Chains A and B, each alone.
Chain A
Amino acid sequence: MEFEPKILGIACNWCTYTGADLAGTTRLQYPQNLRVVRVMCSSRINPSFIFRAFQLGADGVLVGGCHPGDCHYNTGNLYARRRLAVTRKILEFAGIEPGRFRVEWISASEGNKFAEVVREFTEQVKNLGPQTKFKIK
């Protein structure tokens, strides 16, 4: 059977989650490997959520937020950008393929982009195979 990755999505309420809804409203099709957690702002994302997700068996983690400058809370995503960049470096140095973690800015009107990103990311994670390093045995 083909490997079907589990992908955790964490999306901000105002842009990416709404963008994901728009993808639905416009009936764009994308793979069903993504499971989205809604938070109010991408800045709510504690890096440990991501470490934990990998431990719990996520094969990939996709974070979505408003475009820089468009944050509903003015500057939240600008902090998030820095924090998640560091998260990425830490994962990478610990040996997790960088391709398993991605941050995308997707606005409420970018349903298309959301679907596109999910398609691309799912494919990418699929190609990387199951994530076994962090996963608790």
Chain B
Amino acid sequence: MSQTVIPYLEMSQAIVDAGGEALKKCYQCGTCTGTCPWTPITHFNIRKLIRFGQLGIDGIEEYMWGCSTCKFCVDRCPRGVEIIDVVTAIRNVYSGGGMLPQSLRAFVGSLSARGNPWSGDQDKRNDWAKDKYPVYTKDMDYLFFTCCTVCYDPRNIKLAKAAAEVLNLAGLSWGIPSVDVNCCGESVRKVGDLELFERLKQNNLNYFKTNNVDKIVVVSPHCLAAFKKEYGEDYDVMHLSQLIARLIKEGKLTPKKDFGGLKVTYHDPCYLGRHSGVYDAPRDVLKAIPGIDFVEMGRNREQSMCCGGGGGGLWMEKLKGERLSDLRIEEAMATGATVLATSCPYCITMFEDSSRTLNVDEQIKIKDVTELFLESLGVNMDELMAGASDLNFTCKAD
């Protein structure tokens, strides 16, 4: 194969036009690659991706799907390159040319046809609630925006219910959205389908506006980031862990149940931590629960590692040995913890998968902070989930 290339600046310009303006600033120092969690385990090289983008030369395809948008490199970049914007722009330009990988086609297709990435029927979006929880009306204070993943994914329905119960116990005036809402669109934006994102966004904004929504509570940090940074509107959005931390602080909810020295570690979801700057709230919640022995992993907070689920990663197949979630599980187990707590449905999905494939699902449990908290309020999670298996979803690619 010839090594000769001619820079194709039209392509480079197309990337810039698609929002990858920051591309120009990079001086190729390699800090990003050195920081990137994927570098040690895959051949993905973020610096090269940018370099290829700068020159518009072939080779981009090899790297463009590797990034899980964890934002570690962005925080470290000495040139202030918004690398995620560059990745998004590159994906946008190239997937426009039909280069979407097979594994993402179902994801995009479902979003386009059903407004959620899980191929679930749109009118069954609220089936998990079984009419037990109110639908948002104009006079309510909070809209609990349920992530598609917690609506359709059987594991995460638990999280949805736990969240709903907590909101109820707090005595707040709240409701879930009607089935008219869509996925927040964060992931599909990162996958590069800006047009579809725009559609999803407009639909949701429409819902917010017609229903006079002002305060939004989310369980998914991806929704949080989308509403706060990508919708271009000023809504009062907070992550449930922040709300719980506040409720504890105000004395409105007090965890009672003693976990008797349960060793728990916490994984910072990239979109809650680095993307949204929320590090303390979930820790405050865990530390408020009696009898929890909280331990930190070596890489935590700003330095936290990615689970691999962001930027479309949740829907992409990864080979064994190339999974960040596997590494993270091992790191968690090294602390001696028996519960790996987190606060993101994507992370939960990734870790649940890994703990099963690594065969450690008995040694370490994956739980959302909300779930732990609800238990500490004395609610039995299993009772809550009874009958959840009746739900009938088609949850695989169609």
A and B touch in the complex (CB under 8 A): no
